[in-house]
Structure formats: structure tokens, C-alpha cells
Amino acid sequence: MRSVVVFLLSVIVLLGSPRAAFAQRDGSIHIFSFSSKNKEKHADALTQALRMEVRGTPGWTVVDPPSFSLMMLGQKCTQTPDAVCLSKIGEHMKVQRFVWGTVDGARGSVKVTAHLWESGKSDTAVDLPLGDAANTATHPEVKEAAHTIARRLLFREGTLVLNLSVAAGQIFVDGLEKTRFDGKAAQVSLPEGLHDVQVRTANAPPLQRKLRIQAGETTTEVFNFALPESSKALDESSSSRDGGRNKSRTTVATALIIAGGAGLLIGGGTSIYWAVFRGDTRDRAQKYFDAKQMGNDYCNESTKQALEICSDDKKTKTLSGIAIAATSIGAAAAIAGIVLIVTDPKTGTTEERPVAVTPLLGKDVAGATFSLRF
């Protein structure tokens, strides 16, 4: 009984409240909380995300009005609001536009319907799907849905995709530079309506067209420049050279890192085997010395045991050299590959020159050197 009384008092307060309290200022928008019968968490999350999206846009102010259901009850609307009901709510609040919507669905499937009511205009709606897990305002799907709703309903923006026959230039919209492009494609967001789009490049006269952008739609346009043969060849060679250089650079770097890793594995494995083999050889040599009461010149002995120890001792020196060489070469190659990757090829600080890795093998030295010009 008490809850019913509180609800009725709320309706009375709503109906008797001064209408000026809801008055809409220029650049402001009333965003009602999205209603739902079985997906309340999703509805609350989308409401928060949409309000944050619009509040973060310069020139826009968000007003949080009372419950949409309460407004419908106060204006004696049916369960599904029609144009008359929405007009009554707008007149009562003294606003020219507001956003309302619903979030409903079965398990694993959620449907969002967002509406923009504007005085004297027909209803504008956006339908979007949501994942069942998208029930927080910071969830990527919820943020993307809020961004889409804001663009289509409020900002009235569309997307312009330009496919270009040149590799670099500038895009001007309505006389102002909008963006620069580095590559043969560009994308910009523009308000709904007719726009004067001009593309400029260094090697040809600018191209200019009038293009109509629809809110929430993607418009694709192709700009083919009539380049002189010399400029065309220069543009294409520049593009292919940059792409080829970056691709070959990555290939060389990857190969060096893989080869370096293999060298380090071989060197590490050989080092372990060398340590074990060397220890065993020295143990046998020590026992032989103790038994024969002689020095360590067992390579001059004629016994079978002495000759085996001599042969194994030479093997330990060979294994040591292999381990040092493989580890050094592997480390050098891996470092060269890493340097190639972390150095930004677009800065032009690294010349197109292969990395030179030179092994050093000698009587008293084993290792490698590498050279890389910057």
C-alpha cells in the first residue's frame, strides 16, 4: 500500500511540476533511460554509455529527465507510445527533441531500439544487436552501440570512404582541410548533407566534387587523378619501394631472429654436453694419473686408455669452439633482427642494406661480428 501511495505522489509531483524545469536549451538533449522488460542491466548500461558519449562531444549538453514510463503514465499513453503520446511528452517538457528507447531480448540475444523524437517530424529509429555479455557501460559493444546511436540520431553524421589513385595528399571539405592521407584510401566522418569535397596531390591538379552524405550511411567515392606518365611512375615507384622495403625488412628481421634463436639453442645444448663430457674426461684422466704416478702428457703414452683420454680431451676443445661460435653467431643474428624490427622504417634513418653477419673462427678465437648501417 505504501509503495502505491509513493508512486501516486510521484505522478502528482510530475504533473504539477513547473514545465520550465524541463525547458530545452540550444545544444542540449534529453536522453531518457532505456526501458526493458527482461534486460534491465543492458538498458542501464546503454543509457549510461550514450549519455557519456554525448556529454563528451563539444557543443552538446545532456539532461537526465524522469522515468519515461512515468511520463507515459502522466500523459495517459498506451503501452507502446504513438506520435500523439510523444508530442504530449514533448509539450509537457517544453522541448523540441528527446531520445528514448527499449532494450529487450531472449537469452543470448539482445535487441536495442533507439528513437529520436523531434517536434513536427516523423520518428527516427536505430535498431542494433547486443551480445548477452554486454551489460556494463564500459563494455566495448555497449560503447560502440552508444557511438552509433549518437552519430545516427543526434550528430547526424555519415562516413565518406575515398579510394584514390595516388599515394599521398590532402582532403578538403567545404574549403577546410579535413585530413591527410598516406596510402590509396581514406575515411572521414561528415555531417549529413551536401558537401564540397576536394582532393589535392602534389603531382596533379586537384579533383573536386559535391557529395551528399546520409546520416549513418557509408558513401564510397573513387578519385582517379590524370597523372603525367613521369609523375605516375614516380608515385607508383615510391609506393612500391616503401612497401617492398618494409616487407623485405620484416622478412630479413624475422629470418635473423629465427636463425639467432636456433644458434643460441645449438650453442646452449653444445655447452651443456661439453661441460658433462669434459668433466667425465677429466675424472678419467685424474684416475689414470694417480694410478700411473705420472704427469699429464698422456697423449704421448702408448696405452689404449691414455690414447682414449687424449682423443676425448681434443673433442672437448672442439665442442668448446662449436658452443662459443654458435652462441656468438646466434646472439649477433638475434640482436640484428631485433634492431631491424624496433627501428621505424618510415623515419628513413635506416638505409636499404642487408645485415652482414661474419663468423670468426680461429685457433684461439671463436665468435661473430655483424654490421648494420643507420
Tell me whether domains 2-155 and 158-227 share a fold. Answer: no
- Report the pLDDT value the prediction gives residue 195, as an integer from 0 to 100: 93
Q: What is the mean pLDDT of residues 289-309?
A: 64
Q: How confident is the model at residue 102 (pLDDT cuts 50, 70, 90)?
A: very high
Task: Pick from 211-225, 237-251, 305-319 the range whose average pLDDT is largest.
Answer: 211-225
Which range is least confidently modeled, 150-154, 264-268, 349-353? 349-353
User: Residues 310-365: pLDDT tens digits?
Assistant: 777 777 778 777 878 878 887 888 888 788 777 755 444 444 444 455 555 555 55
Query: What's the CA angle centered on 216, arms 212 and 222, to 5 degrees?
Result: 45
Residue 363 CA to its chain's centroid (Å) = 53
CATH of domain 158-227: 2.60.40.1120
Q: Give the chain's largest Cα–Cα span.
A: 119
Q: Is the pTM of this model over 0.95?
A: no
Are the C-beta atoms of residues 336 and 252 closer than 8 Å to each other? no
> Which residue, among 119, 71, 72, has the nearest Cα to 95 in the 3D structure?
119
How far apart are alpha carbons 2 and 16 in whole angstroms?
21
Sign of CA dihedral 245, 247, 253, 256: negative
Treating both helix axes as pointing N-terminal to C-terminal, what angle do 140-149 and 40-55 enclose, rounded to 10 degrees?
Answer: 60
User: Residues 111-150: pLDDT tens digits?
Assistant: 999 999 999 888 888 899 999 899 999 999 999 999 989 9
- Report the pLDDT value the prediction gives residue 49, as an integer from 0 to 100: 95
> Which residue, among 295, 283, 366, 277, has the nearest Cα to 326 in the 3D structure?
366
Give the chain's radius of gyration (CA, Å): 38
- Report the pLDDT value the prediction gives residue 353, as an integer from 0 to 100: 45
- Backbone phi, psi, residue 312, to 5°: -65, -35
Give the fold, CATH level 3, of 2-155. Answer: Rossmann fold (3.40.50)
How far apart are alpha carbons 115 and 152 in whole angstroms?
10
Q: What is the mean pLDDT of residues 30-40?
A: 91
Residue 28 CB neighbour total at 10 angstroms: 15
Which range is least confidently modeled, 6-10, 74-78, 127-131, 264-268? 6-10
Residue 214 CA to its chain's centroid (Å) = 27
C-alpha cell, 134: 554486454
Enumerate the domain spans of the chain. Answer: 2-155, 158-227, 231-371
Edge-first strand listing for the sheet containing 218-223: 185-191, 157-164, 218-223
- Report the pLDDT value the prediction gives residue 218, as an integer from 0 to 100: 83
pLDDT at 88 over 80: yes
